[in-house]
Structure 1
């Protein structure tokens, strides 16, 4: 089914063609016509399934016919859990709004940076992408008004609730007009999400895209048994041996991420870390450099990894195993995307072998386990 059959305008179809988008993903096929018809949506699909475009495209089209609102009264509110996702969603709106006959102004707001420029930039905004805490600060300052919201989107709602934003989200919902369109998107359907969906959504269209576990069938997985003290040298060996030009490395803590980067840089590897303790400017720069191929190695924590979507990322390395099997699948799912092959490598110490067995059982896939001492 081509995009032209989903009810999108010629302007948007032209933008899609210029961006080399050909066929919609399953969630886009279902969500776009429903959102165009102002239906409430509950969409459950993994990261990388095209969820963002599934609501951005129809909302841009609906905004073409929307009536003008008073200044600082926005039409569409998108709530997200992290700064990185806020920037990512904003960029998707910018990409697809180029060339539209009616201009659409999108702004991303989040904490960790000065609030004053955001307050100034809110003039004339149609689409506001926000983290909950910063949005409430802006509301308290009378910098933005939510009484005219026509559509509310909760993107990565599962992560938002897991990070403890429920109280803030409840406060925001209380400020919105009762009559509005609601779109709730998530990778999983947890008990908390069930509860908020029952309160928030009215006769929703439920779209559940069966998980392909981030297309892990495309990913060649291998694990090496290696002691913690030898992980650093072995990591450098792997990068050199495989001639990795672009590799995303996952660490389980900010401290480890920084330590890995420092050791790599001391050994003349081009590397940067991205985690919650870095300034927003530093995180944005590192992500830009990595995505554009100007940075060879990016070391990330799990939360920051959710904003890293690269179609042709060849390598992911788990320097440490995550606590959750779901996080493991999410990590390795950064590679092997959009039909491309990928390589996922895990460094496992002997104390983690049982946990790694649990991960494999939950994933439903055995991973080749090699003693690192046998490969050099």
Structure 2
């Protein structure tokens, strides 16, 4: 089931229209997250917003709800001239954002058409589906393809959203975004959401945002305390057997395994399946249908293990994920926190395990120092597997 980034919400006094409040009440959402409490009134007031908050803190709903409310008041009637453009870094996030828009749009009298477009699938159905779209969620590359094909125009865009903006810059979308910015109308509302406030974000803020309302939600230190972290000293060639041993001996289910490369993700998943563990790999080189099916099966608990690269470290929210395993360590301490942060949410405890080879020992010490928390280490040489 899709996790809507809301907890027991109460928006009667926050300015949202009755139709949206009614939907929230039906879904038993009464209380906003901090990012929603601050961002929604600002967006309703047509202000530019720079929102900094960790993944899973409610960023998506903080712009979806007020955007729908504002569009109920004013929308254009030109075909293939969209009102709202949401730029995201991955196909999975595009689908997830569209699902949130659809959930809160379904009970509105003036139904607003939303569409998610991304690469890796045929462009022709997307070109046809763009007719009368109000809200478009897109990855930058596919958006440019559609523009060059004359399938849509950006001259009527009233609101631009950059979701996971820091991730987009890290993935090298900067040139594509600058190309898109030149096609947008100068007068528009700009909403930029990010998990971190990096120098790149500050630079793009200066280019895109106009006197923005800056909302920075500090990460709660206790969140990481809900994660039971364990490290295993292990030789590189024994990582696979150790992984299989831990999954079977501890009867682990819904295990998200991070590897350093696409090749290794496929290899680890294949070895797990050969040893009787239901597993799939998911990464950028998989087809869109394969990725979505694997992710949906994993979320639903039908798939025991999902093996991935850092593709899923941010931007995808899996409710109550019990276990994360770092088969390979990430490059930076920040990425480590993002990875293990997939678990230990909503007040529930989670498990994070990390495999540390001889050449990784110094790097893992740096990760722990930056994290401000030391991890209990186990020598796998003392484990029979």
- TM bin (shorter chain): over 0.9
- Counterpart in 1 of 2:226? 218
- Which residue of the other structure, out of 333, 351, 357, is the alignment partner of 2:365? 357
| Partner of residue 368, structure 1 | 376
Shift of 1:55: 0.2
How many residue pairs get aligned? The number is 376
Verify the 8 A CA contact 1:261 1:273 in the aligned structure 2: yes
Alpha-carbon displacement from aligned partner over 1:69-124 (angstroms, at most 9, x marks no partner): 20101110001111111111111111221211210111011111111000000011
How far apart are 1:214 and its partner, in Å? 9.2
The alpha-carbon distance between structure 1 residues 309 and 77, as it changes in their structure 2 partners (threshold 3 A), is same
Q: State the match for 2:318 in structure 1.
A: 310
Contact map agreement 2:93 2:315 (CA 8 A) in 1: yes
Query: Which whole-Å deviations, capped at 9, do the CAs of 1:273-316 have from their partners, x for residues lacking one?
Result: 00011111100110111111111110011023434312211111
- 5+ unaligned residues in a row in structure 2: which ranges? 1-8
- Where 2:172 maps in the other structure, the secondary structure is coil
Root-mean-square deviation (Å)? 1.4
Alpha carbons of structure 1 residues 214 and 305: separation in structure 2 relative to 1, 3 Å: farther
Q: What is the Cα deviation at residue 67 of structure 1?
A: 3.1
Shift of 1:2: 3.0
Q: Which residue of 1 aligns with 2:200?
A: 192
Correspondence for 1:338: 346
Deviates more, 1:299-308 or 1:325-334: 299-308
Preserved CA contact (<8 Å) 1:88 1:307 = no
1:203 aligns with 2:211: yes
Tell me what 1:246 maps to: 254
Q: Could you tell me how far apart the structure 1 residues matched to 2:282 and 2:370 are?
A: 28
Contact in 2 for aligned 1:317/1:345 (Cα 8 Å) = yes
Gaps of at least 5 residues in structure 1 are none
Which residue matches 1:129? 137
Could you tell me how far 1:250 is from its partner in structure 2?
0.7
Task: Indicate how the Cα distance of structure 1 residues 321 and 213 shifts in structure 2: closer, same or farther if over 3 A, else same.
Answer: farther
1:8-60 deviations in Å (ceiling 9; x for gaps) = 12221222233332311110010001001100000111111111110001101
SS at structure 2 position matched to 1:323? coil
**1:135–1:328: structure 2 CA closer, same or farther, 3 Å change rule?**
same
What is the 5 A alignment of 1:55-66?
55-66=63-74
How does 1:169-180 map onto structure 2 within 5 Å? 169-180=177-188
**TM-score normalised over the length of structure 1:** 0.97
C-alpha separation in 2, matches of 1:102 and 1:242: 51
Change (3 A) 1:309 1:67: closer
